[in-house]
């Protein structure tokens, strides 16, 4: 009999009560006093406990939980408070369909169009990127290629991983000017920058620095051309930070063509805070090396107790960080995914683009504004970045906040003012924000 953490820790002493909490641990049912009309944006908006006296244009930073997610978190928290050991044991370490982490992986897989066995659960994008880059079988002299436009945590994950094994990394710019961004040029620049020692390319789907959305399928096709002349161990991998695309764009990320994808779910997906995932192709998981001990695979416990190496190749479950965590948040993640699916991912995409197009068009016609986000919706998503001429971005944000409009600045060497519209916003709010910006300067 394979050793599970249940019988390792307590040698079956809970077996007599294994079914005691099964009904209690079933997926929480939300109880709304007023049924949600998912076809009505105002009804969707009422699911959030956002301060009604503010216009919220920075929710991409950290989402407000919609009502179904709040209720699920509270119900799981009550069960944990009532009986912590039995609740965790019966949720985490049963090797059956009642295993809640498996249910979470299945919910994510259903949303992204993948297989639950190819998903590792993480706390955020930062953890996911670190697990990926530190898990790569890099050798001395190997190289990782990335871009100057990527975020600190992407660059830092690469730097820390490469310096530990003698590999190197290099950054290129995807474009020379925001006025001349071209999908073909961006993919060509990446392809031409790949050298014989390049083993991975790291990019971001939607840039939080500018709102630019990369043509990931086109970049994946360029790498496929490069890989046709390489053997498997020298294949160039495409790793994507997808946090500002998931929950906005078509969720079927397995069709993008990348090899690995990391994202937090507590931004555009409205997921519980402190939750995220990594998806990777199974052949990549097999090549990688886990970084943090996992609680998600009984095989690892069995190998440890028997003082042997695990007998099989690595797989996604081995990369889900173990240890005690905010279980009630992870377990409530399927409710956020169901919330999106009930609204309709295609409707969310259309609504988000519609509102952000309204914002971009309004800004583009103001003489005191420099707009950086492409107006082409194929090259943008839910973030809009701009400058007010003669004002620092921080001053713009402060002036807007004085009018109860919540904006942000981009945390990069060159900073811009930043707005982000999602399905909790209204066209009227966008017009209010535009009027306020028009009066600046």
pLDDT tens readout for residues 338-378: 999 999 999 999 999 999 999 999 999 999 999 999 999 99
Q: 103-340 and 345-438: same fold?
A: no
Provide the b/e sequence for 357-395 (b: ≥16 CB within 10 Å): bbbbebbeebeebebbbbeebebbbbbbbbbbeebebee
Measure the CA–CA gap between 185 and 239, rounded to whole angstroms: 19
What's the mean pLDDT in 189-194? 98
pLDDT tens readout for residues 254-272: 999 999 999 999 999 999 9
Banded pLDDT at 22 (limits 50, 70, 90): very low
Q: Where are the domains of the chain?
A: 103-340, 345-438
103-340 CATH: 3.40.640.10
* 201 and 146 Cβ atoms separated by less than 8 Å: yes
Q: What pTM was computed for the model?
A: 0.92
Matching CATH number, 345-438, of 1.10.10.60, 3.40.1400.10, 3.90.1150.10, 3.30.365.10: 3.90.1150.10
* 117 and 315 Cβ atoms separated by less than 8 Å: yes
* Residue listed under structure tokens 């040698």: 11
* 231 and 199 Cβ atoms separated by less than 8 Å: no
What is residue 26's predicted lDDT score, i.e. its pLDDT? 52
What is residue 20's predicted lDDT score, i.e. its pLDDT? 45
Find, among 347, 333, 337, the residue nearest to 38 by Cα. 347
Token couple for 262: 């990391």
């Amino acid at each position: 009999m394979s050793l599970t953490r249940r019988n390792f820790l307590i040698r079956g002493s809970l077996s007599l009560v294994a079914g005691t909490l099964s009904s209690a641990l079933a997926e929480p049912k939300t109880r709304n006093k007023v049924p949600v009309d998912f076809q009505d944006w105002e009804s969707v908006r009422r699911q959030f406990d956002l301060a009604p006296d503010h216009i919220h244009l920075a929710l991409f930073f950290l989402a407000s939980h919609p009502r179904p997610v709040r209720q699920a978190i509270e119900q799981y928290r009550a069960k944990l408070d009532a009986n912590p050991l039995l609740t965790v044991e019966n949720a985490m370490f049963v090797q059956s369909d009642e295993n809640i982490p498996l249910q979470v992986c299945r919910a994510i897989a259903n949303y992204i169009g993948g297989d639950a066995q190819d998903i590792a659960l993480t706390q955020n994008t930062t953890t996911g990127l670190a697990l990926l880059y530190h898990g790569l079988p890099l050798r001395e002299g190997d190289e990782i290629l990335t871009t100057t436009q990527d975020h600190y945590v992407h660059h830092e994950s690469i730097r820390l991983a490469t310096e530990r094994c003698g590999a190197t990394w290099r950054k290129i710019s995807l474009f020379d000017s925001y006025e001349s961004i071209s999908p073909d040029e961006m993919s060509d620049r990446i392809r031409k920058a790949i050298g014989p020692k390049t083993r991975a390319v790291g990019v971001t789907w939607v840039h939080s620095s500018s709102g630019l959305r990369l043509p990931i399928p086109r970049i994946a096709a360029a790498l496929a051309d490069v890989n046709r002349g390489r053997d498997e161990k020298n294949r160039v991998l495409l790793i994507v930070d997808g946090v500002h695309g998931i929950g906005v764009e078509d969720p079927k990320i397995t069709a993008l063509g990348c090899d690995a994808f990391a994202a937090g779910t507590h931004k555009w997906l409205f997921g519980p805070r402190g939750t995220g995932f990594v998806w990777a192709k199974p052949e990549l998981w097999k090549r990688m090396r886990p970084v943090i001990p996992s609680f998600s695979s009984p095989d690892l416990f069995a190998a440890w107790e028997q003082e042997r190496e695990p007998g099989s190749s690595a797989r996604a479950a081995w990369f889900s960080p173990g240890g005690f965590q905010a279980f009630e948040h992870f377990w409530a993640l399927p409710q956020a995914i169901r919330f999106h699916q009930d609204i309709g991912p295609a409707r969310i995409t259309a609504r988000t683009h519609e509102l952000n197009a309204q914002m971009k068009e309004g800004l583009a016609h103001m003489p005191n504004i420099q707009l950086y986000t492409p107006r082409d919706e194929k090259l943008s998503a839910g973030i809009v970045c701009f400058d007010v001429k003669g004002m620092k971005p921080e001053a713009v944000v402060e002036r807007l906040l004085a009018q109860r409009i919540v904006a942000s600045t981009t945390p990069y060497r060159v900073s811009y003012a930043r707005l982000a519209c999602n399905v909790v916003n209204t066209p009227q709010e966008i017009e209010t924000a535009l009027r306020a910006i028009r009066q600046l300067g």
